[in-house]
Structure 1
Amino acid sequence: MEELRARRDDLSRRVTREEDRGLQRLAEIQVWLNRVDTIENRANDLLSAKNVELQRLCLCSFCSKSLVSSYRYGKSVFLTLREVEKLKSSVFEVVSEKSQTFEVAERPLQHAIVGQETMLGKAWNHLVKDGVGIMGLYGMGGVGKTTLLTQPNNKFSDERRGFDFVIWVVVSKEFQVEKIQDEIARKIGLGGEEWRQQKDTTEKGVCLYNFLKKKRFVLFLDDLWQKVDLAKAGVPFPTVEN
């Protein structure tokens, strides 16, 4: 139980840290935390009843004065221990690649620009209904491209539409492939110390490609000033599967 508490506390700290960055916890994370709290209360109740059960034992603890009570207590202990082991192992599934700890990071949104509703509707329909793989929004600086792009990003925080990841990356005028790779990796949980120290641009691209090709994802690239080679960055070409 002590080891399970430690894993619960580690995960809770991680959740709090990411929530401070504006991300939202997945429902299954909260379900796992609730289950740990429940089993912890049950374990505490069993420990409190331990002395009473010990007093029922006789003949050097080989026999009980109340066989039914001792049997029930022993069975409760056994089932509780089994549940503890299940929770200890399932925490790795909860935070695995298949089920990331956090959902879409909702971005601050300025007041919508008058007349954007039609364009937003077209963009959203292309993304979720028409099966469009790549879409570009273009226009002069200050016309509201980022504001428009932010709205479908935020809509995904309420409507996941079967996507595993919704990723936002600001490219900027000082375009660097590695910067895009690092930001994508951070958003999908790959950007650890090993990632930063051991992978060059090509290796990072291969790593991202092999991960993302198995996932359904939306990638928003904001503030583009030149063409981005998605293949070099490791972003798979859009298919029905991804």
Structure 2
Amino acid sequence: MGEIVLGILGPVMQLGEWMWTPVKRGMSYMVHYKRNLQSLGLQVQKLEVMQNYHKESVDTAEMSGDRIKPEVQEWLIEADNTMTHVRQLNGEAEVGEKRFVGWCPDLKWRYNLGKKAWNLRATVNKLVEEAKFESVALGVRRVPEVQNLIFTEGFEPFEATRQAMDRVMDVLKKEEITVIGVYGMGGIGKTTLVKQVGAQVCRDGFFDSMIMAVFTQNPVVMQIQDQLANMLTLKLPETTEILRAARLRERMLRGKKILVILDDIWRTIDLSSIGIPGFDELGRCDSKVILTTRIFNVCHAMGSQVKIPLNLLSEDDSWNLFVKNARKSFESTNLCKVAKQVANECGGLPVALITVAKALGDKDQLEEWQEAARRLKISQPASFDDDERLLKCVRLSYDNLKGEDAKSCFLLLPLSRRL
């Protein structure tokens, strides 16, 4: 009989315990709501310390160009959200401390507050335990957003420029095209054009980043590699071209949607010797190459799938660009006539127009403008493609400088070095 009673009482007592446990917990929320708030406050202090520490670490890493681990970013977001809930709860506690229902305290409010504090404490404890990161950075540096730094003085989207820009941007959007060549005379604005295009397609989301290297008549492969590596925040400790090229290629293949601009190429060069991935490899990581050159055959020899010319400015566009940079109204009919002759002698080259306009912009005497037109006229180039057209304009600008110091500074300009 006793065994039967015990057999019945056992499940009954177990059932009672199961029913009593949530009741007991609920009463604890209500009775010990202040204790729960205090316990939550102690844990929140620990979370705040860790949160501030990791935020400072992230700021330092980002300033160094490092990429942040996704788990660290997620932890910081969750910590911020939790701290917001804690502040809201503390606000409720301050407002409702003296709440009563009739003559009795508001037990429902105390229950809800105690339960929220208990649950929040568990969330804070979890965050504190998860905050033990060995480092916040991935070890791969973030590529700087070069496109946001691009500023090209004197850039005007004239008809010839617009046509070339539109073609380049259309071709960049075609998946099957990975290498594009832009060619045209020296000083016609190829560098300005590709910079503007690169900045625009990055802003539009077609590419994640843009890197650029400028060539010379006698390019040094290691110097070109250094330019690209610096923009990728990549270190090249190797001392041979082939090993540096392998590291650079591997880094570019780990990236996605990179636009590589190779500017002012004078002769054919093997892109793989620099570290530029092959056409198929570029396509697989949605990256592309734009190269600029003065020579059409260079575009062809380097495998450009599309070759886009940048033509000279029209007479009207040339005059508008000249007037803008001269900053004169040319109200005098005679002066305006001579100024147009000077502008025409620049041959539709944007750099020549800007250079000459700025050199003569402060001249008010008709004789000075006539002399400039005469000097430009007698120094006609031997052929249309000859750089003499630009050189004569630069020479005129140089001769109009006052003082030897100003002329010495002019000779240090990148334009003078490249001509």
Category of TM-score, reference length = shorter chain: 0.5 to 0.7
Structure 1 stretches of at least 4 aligned residues deviating more than 6 Å after TM superposition: 31-34, 66-71
Of structures 1 and 2, the larger Rg is shown by 2
Tell me which residue corresponds to 1:222.
263
- Does structure 1 retain, via aligned residues, the 8 Å contact 2:58–2:137? no
Equivalent residues, number:
208
Matches within 5 A, 1:15-30: 15=62
Structure with the bigger percentage of helix? 2
- Does structure 2 retain, via aligned residues, the 8 Å contact 1:171–1:223? yes
Q: Could you tell which deviates more after superposition, 135-144 or 213-222?
A: 213-222
The root-mean-square deviation of aligned C-alpha atoms, in Å, is 4.0
Q: In the alignment, does 2:252 pair up with 1:207?
A: no
3-state SS in 2 of match to 1:227:
coil
Matching residue within 245, 267, 278 for 1:237: 278
- Does structure 2 retain, via aligned residues, the 8 Å contact 1:126–1:132? yes
Unmatched tracts of structure 2, length 5 or more: 1-46, 91-109, 286-419
Q: For residues 89 and 74 of structure 1, what CA distance do their matches in structure 2 show?
A: 30
Q: For residues 144 and 114 of structure 2, what CA distance do their matches in structure 1 show?
A: 44
Matching residue within 108, 123, 131 for 2:151: 108
Q: Read off the aligned partner of 2:187 and give its amino acid letter.
A: G
Matches within 5 A, 1:1-242: 1=47, 2=49, 4-13=51-60, 15=62, 35=77, 38=80, 41=83, 72-83=116-127, 85=130, 88=133, 91-92=136-137, 96=140, 100=142, 102-106=144-148, 107-110=150-153, 111-112=155-156, 114=158, 115-129=160-174, 131-161=176-206, 163-173=207-217, 175-191=219-235, 195-196=236-237, 198-216=238-256, 217-239=258-280, 240-242=283-285
- Does structure 2 retain, via aligned residues, the 8 Å contact 1:32–1:91? no
- Does structure 2 retain, via aligned residues, the 8 Å contact 1:208–1:235? yes
Pick 1 or 2: higher relative contact order, CA cutoff 8 A, min separation 6: 1
Q: Read off the aligned partner of 2:274 and give its amino acid letter.
A: A
In the TM superposition, residue 138 of structure 1 has moved relative to its aligned partner by 1.8
Q: What's the CA shift string for 1:174-208, capped at 9, x where partnerless?
A: 522122222222222323xxx34x55322221112
Q: For residues 80 and 174 of structure 1, what CA distance do their matches in structure 2 show?
A: 62
Residues 174, 181 of structure 1: CA spacing in aligned structure 2 closer, same or farther, 3 A cutoff? same
Instruction: Determine what percentage of the aligned residue pairs are the same residue.
Output: 19
Q: What's the CA shift string for 1:108-142, capped at 9, x where partnerless?
A: 12322522101111111111126321111122211
TM-score between both structures, scaled by the size of structure 1: 0.66
In the TM superposition, residue 144 of structure 1 has moved relative to its aligned partner by 0.6
